[in-house]
Structure 1
Amino acid sequence: MRGDISTSLSGIFMVSITLLAALFKTAFINGWIVRRVLCGYNKPDMVEILRNKSFATRFQILIEIATHGPTIQQRAIAQELSITPQAVSDYISQLEGESMITYLGRSRYQITREGVNWVLKNVREVKAYFDGIDSVINGIVISPAIAEKDIKQGEQVGLKMVNGLLYATADCQTKSTGIAEADAKAGEDVGVRDIQGLIEFSYGLVAVLVVPGIAKGGSRHIDLELLKTRLKGVSYVGAIGLESVAALHRAGIEPDYLYDVSGVVIDAALHGLSSAVVCTEEDVYALVSSLKDRNIEYSLISL
């Protein structure tokens, strides 16, 4: 009985280690890979044991009894799980009441057949969950990059971010390297596998320039020279609100983005690109909230 539980648990831990290794291997490749994993793509439903702390604690207590029982003190279980002895006592009472364990007296407990079946059921569910996640991750461990120069299949390449895009370069002195999956000419896309190390780049910044709403005069009541100065040298400019578009036109500037501006500048910042958003007062709160939610650094300037 203990052998079955130990074997199943070993399987869980091995799958978990494999999963975490894959996550950390790809997590620093580029922002869209991480979001692709976490945002779905047939990701299986979270199992109860990973979602419910109480559920997980019951599971762990049963494992402790199965592997160290029948003679095991509640204090030892509490220390192992970093919870109070009183909490262990409460859980054990519940488990005994549900016929998951049997109390044999004098700090002696034995897991019952019902308890074993419950543990193995959850082991299978967790393993299935991790297998599902693992399959998602394995589908994206080959990352696309743009060949900086001609590259041969099997060649080791360096990886770097340039203007928000991932490039594969023959220079392997970069902190992140990988192996080219195919031949590629300069400018072509190429798959890169066996990626090691961290790609060096810093998140971009967002400058938020606030324009009064039309009720307060709109674009007519801004410091036009301040707007021009703040946007000098800025590569990417977004506009939220018609007053902002008019303000930019007064400054002789055509906005790069008019729709889903907050999403665009956040994505750009996550790929190392800085930008500016000219925004009406009414829309500032929503924009700033979105930036804060993604931990994007921003500045706020009233025009």
Structure 2
Amino acid sequence: MPDHSQSDADVLRSKRSATRYQILVQIAERQPAVSQQEIADEIGVTAQAVSDYLQGLVEEGFVVKEGRGRYEVTKEGVDWLIGQTDGLQEYVSHVASDVIGQVEVETAVARTDVAEGETVSVTMRDGVLCAIAGDAGSATAVAVTDAAEGEDVGVTNFEGVVDYELGSVTVVSVPRVQDGGSRAVDPGRVAALASEHDLVATAGTEAFVAAGRCDVTPDVRFGTPAAVQEAATKGLSVLLLASTNELSAHTDRLRDANISYEVVDAAD
């Protein structure tokens, strides 16, 4: 009896092994009535190639032929498929965690001088990932570049969890111009709210003009739903002045991302 034992991800080592694997999967899905042409079309080989592979699989005991166009995968064939699939899963897990995970590089701001290869603590400050020389923090990484304090630094090999809380969004709805526009907003109320938040964003022309009337300079003039959500996700509290036609796009996005928000009345 042939030795069917295989090493992890052996099916990836040659086109022949990969094709045998795909054909066995197709037979298992379609059995007992198997169309060689359908299998050929599905996996991108010729019908003659499928026929040749089938002959070999029958000879090896992976497939039994029950009649014209009728094939079934044997227990040995199923065992081989399971072994190969387990190997693929282990290989994919290895690539994801040990390979990709090791080479994934994030960018941080160096809050101290950092040397390449040095262990750093990573934290979130003012919505920006920061790196500090040493391993005293709840999350650490390894610097892949040199950096002076204040420069950008590449970090990888993360361990632990970066400890920070999600931010929140306070939304001021600004009416369309035909409904009063920026003139319907209380300048004192908006200015007070702006002083209580990390970042001010505007969405829509009426909202931008309202900020100017309130003597508030927006940090983000074109506050798209993605930008506002990203700021809150990084732990910032955001005051969003949004024209009414922009409002639902923002609140829908925040709701989907589980970001806390409230809509306040800032009418004059």
TM-score by length of structure 1 reads: 0.58
> How far apart are the structure 1 equivalents of 2:102 and 2:188?
52
Q: What's 1:139 paired with?
A: 103
> How far apart are the structure 2 equivalents of 1:291 and 1:170?
35
Q: What's 1:179 paired with?
A: 142
Contact 1:211 1:302 in 2 (8 A): no
Q: 1:261 aligns with which of 190, 199, 224?
A: 224
In 2 relative to 1, CA 245–188 (structure 1 residues): closer, same or farther, beyond 3 Å?
closer
In 2 relative to 1, CA 208–189 (structure 1 residues): closer, same or farther, beyond 3 Å?
same
Q: 1:274 aligns with which of 237, 240, 252?
A: 237
Query: Which deviations, in whole Å up to 9, do the C-alpha atoms of 1:10-65 show, x marking residues without a partner?
Result: x99xxxxxxxxxxxxxxxxxxxxxxxxxxxxxxxxxxxxxxxxxx9xx99xxxxxx
Contact 2:120 2:133 in 1 (8 A): yes
Q: How many angstroms does 1:236 deviate by?
A: 1.7
Confirm whether residue 244 of structure 1 aligns to residue 207 of structure 2: yes
> How far apart are the structure 2 equivalents of 1:226 and 1:267?
25
Q: How many angstroms does 1:171 deviate by?
A: 4.8
In 2 relative to 1, CA 243–98 (structure 1 residues): closer, same or farther, beyond 3 Å?
farther
Query: Which deviations, in whole Å up to 9, do the C-alpha atoms of 1:38-97 show, x marking residues without a partner?
Result: xxxxxxxxxxxxxxxxx9xx99xxxxxxxxxxxxxxxxxxxxxxxxxxxxxxxxxxxxx9
What SS does the corresponding residue of 1:289 show, helix, strand or coil?
helix
In 2 relative to 1, CA 250–294 (structure 1 residues): closer, same or farther, beyond 3 Å?
same
Q: What's the % identity of the aligned pairs?
A: 24
Confirm whether residue 99 of structure 1 aligns to residue 72 of structure 2: yes
Contact 1:144 1:190 in 2 (8 A): yes
What SS does the corresponding residue of 1:99 show, helix, strand or coil?
strand
Contact 2:8 2:84 in 1 (8 A): no
Q: How many angstroms does 1:126 deviate by?
A: 5.1
Q: What's 1:29 paired with?
A: none
Where do 5+ consecutive residues of structure 1 fail to align? Answer: 13-54, 60-96, 102-110
> How far apart are the structure 2 equivalents of 1:194 and 1:132?
14
Contact 2:8 2:88 in 1 (8 A): no
Where do 5+ consecutive residues of structure 2 fail to align? Answer: 12-24, 30-69
Q: How many angstroms does 1:291 deviate by?
A: 0.7
TM-score by length of structure 2 reads: 0.64
In 2 relative to 1, CA 203–216 (structure 1 residues): closer, same or farther, beyond 3 Å?
same
Query: Which deviations, in whole Å up to 9, do the C-alpha atoms of 1:226-248 show, x marking residues without a partner?
Result: 22222223332111122212211
In 2 relative to 1, CA 146–223 (structure 1 residues): closer, same or farther, beyond 3 Å?
closer
Look up the equivalent residue of 1:4 and give its one-letter code: S
Mapping for residues 15-26 of structure 1, pairs under 5 Å: none
Q: How many angstroms does 1:278 deviate by?
A: 0.5
Confirm whether residue 203 of structure 1 aligns to residue 176 of structure 2: no
Contact 1:99 1:112 in 2 (8 A): no
Higher-helix-fraction structure: 1
Contact 1:210 1:300 in 2 (8 A): yes
Higher-strand-fraction structure: 2
Q: What's 2:5 paired with?
A: 4
Matched pairs, number:
211
Q: What's 2:262 paired with?
A: 299
In 2 relative to 1, CA 291–98 (structure 1 residues): closer, same or farther, beyond 3 Å?
farther
Q: What's 1:225 paired with?
A: 188
RMSD: 3.5
